[in-house]
Amino acid sequence: MRGQVHLWAAQRITAFVLAAAVFVHLATIMLAVRGGLSAAEIVARLSGAEGWLAFYAVFALAAGIHGAIGMRNIAGEWLGWRGRGFDALWLGIGLVTAAFGIRAAWGLYHA
């Protein structure tokens, strides 16, 4: 029961983070593509930039956690997938999703 409340709280808090992060992300895209978009330009902006690394690491972690909790709830209601086993599965999926994003941010930081 406590765990379920923590999941709910985590989903609300990550929603706040995502609302801000998605806004920054989209605004950056819009500004960045004004003069055309190239891989070199992206690497130039992100390589060695600790601020962007931290931003995208937090963004990816929030997205992974938020998405997995949401999928868990939908699967519980629509497919009857409930219980600790499924919770562990969704936790794993969330962390793997976040890890992919963080790995990408890490790769661009070191590019």
For another protein, the binding residues (CB under 8 A) are: 1-2, 4-6, 8-9, 12, 73, 76-78, 82
Q: Where are the alpha helices (DSSP H) in 33-83?
A: 39-46, 50-79
How far from 46 is each of 18, 25, 99, CA to CA, in Å?
A: 20, 13, 18
Q: Which residues of 24-37 are buried (b: 16+ CB within 10 A; e: fewer)?
A: eeeeeeeeeeeeee
Residue 7 or 63 having the CB closest to another protein: 7
Q: How far is the CB of 11 from another protein (least distance, A)?
A: 10
Q: How far is the CB of 9 from another protein (least distance, A)?
A: 5
Query: What is the spatial distance between Cα 94 and Cα 71, in angstroms, rounded to a whole number?
Result: 10
Residue 17 or 32 having the CB closest to another protein: 17
Query: What is the spatial distance between Cα 41 and Cα 15, in angstroms, rounded to a whole number?
Result: 30
Residue 76 or 101 having the CB closest to another protein: 76
Q: How far is the CB of 84 from another protein (least distance, A)?
A: 12
Residue 70 or 101 having the CB closest to another protein: 70
